[in-house]
Every structure is written in structure tokens, then in C-alpha cells.
Chains A and B, each alone.
Chain A
């Protein structure tokens, strides 16, 4: 059993009581709400005649269903309009702060909470969305929950949970040029598998992690869930504190000094005990691309699509399913696979540094004829900042569409989607069958720079071969 880790410390601080059967009632410090997984929770609250216990610890935004073309109300899709209207009504009734479209703070829930300083070290953070693990980048215990649990948190600010084991994933070295946080996490999932993290929280540590920016750490923690780990985290350090300093919801003045002192004390102890430890070498990672139908089915750009491993019999079925669905063959090089659609955005890679990395490749180049390429900033703030830096014009001049913030084609609950058997180069997080809105649509996950490279060449391309045009 783990002890002395950040996970243990934060867990213990939030423990309300032991429940019968061994589960723990855990206090939740920050509850993020969006339009898709909350309406039924609010209805259930009403049915049970309960109110929201801590509206001041609950914050909402709208992201999944918003159109990225035209966000004028009412939305052209009446179902989407109904969902936002319901969220507005619920937030108003329960006095929950809603970061609505046009507020300057709307965006993908996992982009906005960090950028306004809501996500902080030492918190427990939940949201009815599996990518809540993102907030672990700050040294929080952050995880996704279902709608019944959203109801429980609204009503009691607590959850019934079983404690997770802790696996430390130690990354030596550093990422080489042209290799990004996305490549690192795809590599980790490839090595440990999509089921490898079930029952664990992942602590990402080591020199390669320390060197990452906060936005890069968010990308890593965001995809912990794709490796089966309900939450992933990075111990807080000076980068964490620098990022938080001056943000709207960050502590100020003397409180700030006290906060930093407390945050520093939360990091895993040097002599902490882990349930499991894994060590990987970051400098050995190449730009990584998924070829299959789970985020674990990926290869380095210089590798070929793998054959089935005769020793891993249990994986044969999902490999066969992937070859058939993706229409890709084992032994085929991933580099050069033609793409139809290029999507830059999502809670994984829709932040300013992601857009910058992609813009560096797009600058003074042109999107290949016949390819639909579009950029969806993760939030209104990201959009504003990107425009200030002229990134929108770089993309538009290159032939990308520049959109309004939202989840967009990551899960296609809005007008952005694949058609038929189209294949996308996507900076999002899931390549499941049908994920991007077409039952036969195919997804290749990669870093935003790699997506930009695919857009300008028309096929999967090693971004390291495309130098920025000065």
C-alpha cells in the first residue's frame, strides 16, 4: 500500500469517514459541471428534494455541444439549445457560477478551470467527464465521475470511493526536438496498455516531467484515463506556482505565501512508498501516432504498423478488429498514410502552446488540396491570446479554418464530424470506432504539430522533417 505520496496526503485530508464495506466518503474541493452529464443529476436532486450543498465550490461551462461555426443563440440544433438552456436554468436556480458563451471565460471545462486558477494543488477535483484527470497536472486528485455521482457531489460535496493504488511512472532524460507531451503520453499508454492503469492513480515524475510546462503536464494527465488510470498527477513545483500566480481564483498577497508553503508540503516524500514503479526513457520517444482503435495502439513515426505478437494472444482480437476497421495492414509504414481531415483542438491539445506549435509548421505553407483542416481553440481566452499573437492569421493564410471554442470533433456532439470512412489526423484523445461522429470514421491521434504537418503534406508526416520556415 502506498504511503507518503501526494495521493495519500490529499486523500487523507479529504476523508470524511469510512463507509461500511470499506469504501471512503471523500470530500470534493472543486466540482466542475457541463451541459451533457449534469441535467439528469439536477433532475434527480429535484426529485429527492435536495439542494446544492456547496454552490461556491461548483463551476459550470458549456463545451460539448456548442457549434464552433456560429454560436449565436438559439443554436440551429434544437437539442443543443435545449441542453444549454437547461444548464442555464439549473445554474441560476442553484446559484452556480456559469462561464457562458461570450463571458470571456467559456471553453472546454478542462481548459478553463486551470486558466482562471480554479484548479490548484492539494484539491480533489471532479467533473462528469473522464478527462478531469487533466487537473492532476497541478498536484490535485482529479477524476471523472458519472451522472449519479454528479448528483451525489451536488447534494453532499462528497463521494463514496475506494482508494486507488499509486504507480509512479518515472521518465528519465528529456524529449527531443519535434517530440511533444502528446507523444510522451501516447508512448506511455502504448507501453503500459489501455488496461494497465485500472485501479491505479498515475504519478508522473522524473527529469523529463519536471522539464515540461504546465500546459504539457496537462496533456499528460489528461490522457491518464486512456491508460486506464482514473487519475494522473504531477507533484507541484515552481512551474506550478508560477503558472498560478495572478490568476483570477489564485490566492493573493499573504495568502499566496501561505498557499505556496502548503502546496510545497504536498509533493510526494522522497521516501514515499508506491504500489508499483515503472521507469521509461523520454529521449527514446519519437513522434507517436495511433494506427488502431484504442489509444494504446500506436507506433513511432519511423515504425511500421505492428504484427500481432504471438505471445500476447489476448490482444489478437482487438488487433484484427483494428486492421479491418482502419483498413491498414501490419508491416505498412505509418508515415505516408493519407488523411482527409485535420483537427487541432480538444482538452488534450487545445491550449495556446499547442496552437503555437502547430502554427510554426503551418506558417508560410498551404493545406494540401482536398483536405479539410481546422483549428478550434480550447477556450475564449486561448482564442483571444492566439489572435493577439497573430496565430489565427497564420492558420487562415495556410488554408485552415479558424473556429470558436468548444469540444468540436473530439467527440462530434456538435456539427463538426467525420463523414463516411474519412480518416482524420487529430490532436484529440480517443480513436475509438465511431468516436468522431461517423460510424465508419477513422482517427489517427498525434500531436498538434504532427496534425499541422499532415495538413500541409496530405499524409502522416514526421514533423521533424518539416522545419519551421523562417
Chain B
């Protein structure tokens, strides 16, 4: 695990750092954080346990153990990353290890939402560009990039690739409102209106 980096807070315009490449489709949240590590009442110790079983199997050769990746912030993945269980422990573990943004071909939905609520952007790239990015990461000692959410690009020293980000997510990150609680709790009046109109909360009396 990396030495402590500040967790995301406030407006997130960009994420800058070294890239770490994790190949493979359908990497599920059980692999990101095996269930036995979910026995906890806080998230604090999860950073060490990220990809625990995969890392043990690879015996030091897993990307999360390779020395050149030790400072990485931008995780590069393939398709359907984060599928399976809804456990927020998965993005929590990645964040506590040091990941601050994820770039890939596609993401599982619950995982994507969980990342957003921690201030970790998950952005997509088209396959051709992702392959190019993978090659550059593989051929460099360390490959540094900046994810610019305003311009919707990923830029390196010599390259610039367009990224695809959901506009709702983008808005939340750029405005600093990705921690949805404060926005949601403000709508008390509207919440009460919906509640008082829902048949199943009102003896099934239908209001017209």
C-alpha cells in the first residue's frame, strides 16, 4: 500500500498520477476484496487487502505489488470492471490503496455509483485508444497522465485521448456535490409530497 494520500474532497476537476494497468474483463468485487475482509465495522484496514487472493496467487507479480506501480493513482482496466457484489468495500479498498480515478472500457453499475460517491471518477475510453494507452503503460517505467474532467480528456506527456463520462457524474464531481447526502437532504419538502402521494404509504387511497 502507498503512503497516505489525501482522500478525494470538494470539487474534482482533474486527477494526476501514474497509471497502473490491470488486464482482464469481468473482474468482480469478490476479487477486488474477498468477502472475509468484509468482517469489519469500518473501512480503514481495507487498503492492504485489495486483490488479496489474486496477489497471493501471483506471488509478488500482481500489478498492485510491482514496485513501479507503488505510487500509481489512475487504474486502467478492461470491460465490466467491478461486477458482482454491491460491496462498497471494493472501491474503498482501491481508494485506500491509492487509486483516485479509473479508466476502462466499461464498468458494472453499482460499482460505478459506489466510486462516484467516494469522489472517484470512472471514465470510459474507446477500445482503440485504450489499447494504445495500455501499450504505453507497458513500455514505460512509469507512465504519468492527467485526467481532465473539464475538457473530458486523458493527457500524457505526448498524447491526448478523449474520455467518455456520464454527464450527471461529471456535474457532481466538478461541482463537488458527489457526496450526495447534502443535496438529497435539502429536498425535504419535495420528499414529503412524494411520500404523501404514494398509495402504499397512504392506505392505498389514490389521490388524483
Contact among B41, B114, B184 for A86, CB-based, below 8 A = B41
Given contacts A146-B113, A437-B35, contact A158 B184 (CB under 8 A): yes
Question: What separation, in Å, do the CA atoms of A437 and B43 have in the docked complex?
Answer: 20
Question: What separation, in Å, do the CA atoms of A123 and B31 have in the docked complex?
Answer: 33
Question: What separation, in Å, do the CA atoms of A80 and B36 have in the docked complex?
Answer: 11
Write out the residue numbers on chain A whose beta carbons fall within 8 Å of the beta carbon of B79: 195, 314
Q: Which segment, of A14-22, A169-177, A274-282, A374-382, faces chain B?
A: A14-22
Contact with B along A19-57 (1 / 0, CB 8 A): 111110101010000001101100110001010011001
Size category of the B interface is 35 or more
Nearest to A13 among chain B residues (CB) is B198
Write out the residue numbers on chain A whose beta carbons fall within 8 Å of the beta carbon of B180: 148-149, 152, 159-160
Interface residues of B in 1-53 (CB under 8 A from A): 23-26, 28, 30-31, 34-36, 38-43, 53
Question: What separation, in Å, do the CA atoms of A257 and B126 have in the docked complex?
Answer: 53
Question: What separation, in Å, do the CA atoms of A149 and B114 have in the docked complex?
Answer: 8
Write out the residue numbers on chain B whose beta carbons fall within 8 Å of the beta carbon of A304: none
Cβ B35 vs Cβ A317 within 8 A:
no
Write out the residue numbers on chain B whose beta carbons fall within 8 Å of the beta carbon of A251: 203-204
Cβ B168 vs Cβ A156 within 8 A:
no
Cβ B83 vs Cβ A195 within 8 A:
yes
Q: Which segment, of A335-343, A358-366, A428-436, A460-468, faces chain B?
A: A428-436
Cβ B41 vs Cβ A83 within 8 A:
yes
Cβ A123 vs Cβ B26 within 8 A:
no
Given contacts A21-B168, A434-B53, contact A37 B87 (CB under 8 A): yes
Judged by a CB distance under 8 angstroms, whether B156 is at the interface is no
Contact among A22, A123, A156 for B184, CB-based, below 8 A = A156
Given contacts A40-B42, A123-B200, contact A130 B187 (CB under 8 A): no
Q: Which segment, of B61-69, B134-142, B169-177, faces chain A?
A: B169-177
Given contacts A120-B200, A145-B110, A314-B79, contact A413 B187 (CB under 8 A): no
Cβ B57 vs Cβ A20 within 8 A:
no
Write out the residue numbers on chain B whose beta carbons fall within 8 Å of the beta carbon of A39: 41-42
Write out the residue numbers on chain A whose beta carbons fall within 8 Å of the beta carbon of B31: 432-434
Cβ B87 vs Cβ A17 within 8 A:
no
Question: What separation, in Å, do the CA atoms of A120 and B198 have in the docked complex?
Answer: 13
Write out the residue numbers on chain B whose beta carbons fall within 8 Å of the beta carbon of A157: 191, 195
Given contacts A27-B194, A147-B88, A262-B206, contact A228 B41 (CB under 8 A): no
Distance to closest chain B CB from A23 (angstroms): 4
Can you report 15 residue pairs joining A to B where beta carbons are below 8 Å apart? A16-B190, A19-B168, A19-B183, A21-B169, A37-B88, A80-B39, A146-B88, A147-B89, A148-B114, A160-B172, A228-B108, A230-B109, A259-B200, A413-B35, A430-B30
